[in-house]
């Protein structure tokens, strides 16, 4: 038997340590939580992406009583950005969440497995790192690429 360990690199930044572009992106993700349709989980998630042409788009989770036919904020915004600008590279995504009492999550939330796979596919398709900003009131986790968030990700090269 061989035993291995996977280590990932990330930093934690406070709001004032984020550069202006990232602060704007995080704010757009936070704002998007107010467009969430989450009557079942009562957990509002927002995501915002910045694409290579400088445009910023946002999306929010959209639930449905017929679980799991709703869609997470991350996939909503990534699919929208690609549908509108299929040739543009998604450079950065920011994700934020609010509880039903209106408070933003203290600890950053992490994308679900399906969203991680879509992030991986987006990075693979673009052939450039996709930065990920996970916002929490205690700090924003910054990952420089999807592999840092999803070691052993499945890509087209695996088929």
pTM of the model: 0.93
Region 129-142: what's the mean pLDDT? 97
Dihedral of the alpha carbons of 139, 74, 115, 15, in degrees to the nearest 10:
-10
The CATH number that domain 11-90+101-158 falls under is 3.40.140.10
The percentage of the chain sitting over the pLDDT mark of 90, rounded to a whole number, equals 84
Domains of the chain by residue range: 11-90+101-158
Q: What is the pLDDT of residues 102-116, one digit of tens each?
A: 999 999 999 999 999
Region 14-35: what's the mean pLDDT? 97
Catalytic residues: 74
CA distance to 122, 127, 146, 159, per residue, from 155 (Å): 10, 12, 12, 8
Give the model's confidence band at 159: pLDDT under 50 very low, under 70 low, under 90 confident, else very high: low
């Amino acid at each position: 038997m061989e035993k291995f360990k996977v280590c990932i690199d990330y930093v934690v930044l406070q709001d004032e340590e984020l550069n202006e572009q990232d602060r704007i992106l995080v704010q757009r993700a936070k704002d998007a939580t107010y467009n969430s349709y989450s009557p079942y989980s009562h957990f509002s998630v927002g995501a915002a992406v910045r694409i290579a042409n400088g445009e910023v788009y946002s999306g929010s989770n959209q639930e449905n009583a017929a679980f799991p036919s709703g869609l997470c904020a991350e996939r909503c915004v990534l699919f929208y950005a690609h549908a509108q600008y299929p040739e543009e590279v998604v450079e950065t995504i920011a994700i934020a969440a609010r509880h039903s009492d209106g408070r933003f999550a203290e600890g950053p939330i992490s994308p679900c497995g399906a969203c991680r796979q879509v992030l991986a596919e987006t990075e693979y398709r673009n052939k450039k790192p996709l930065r990920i900003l996970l916002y929490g009131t205690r700090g924003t986790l910054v990952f420089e690429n999807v592999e840092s968030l999803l070691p052993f990700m499945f890509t087209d090269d695996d088929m």
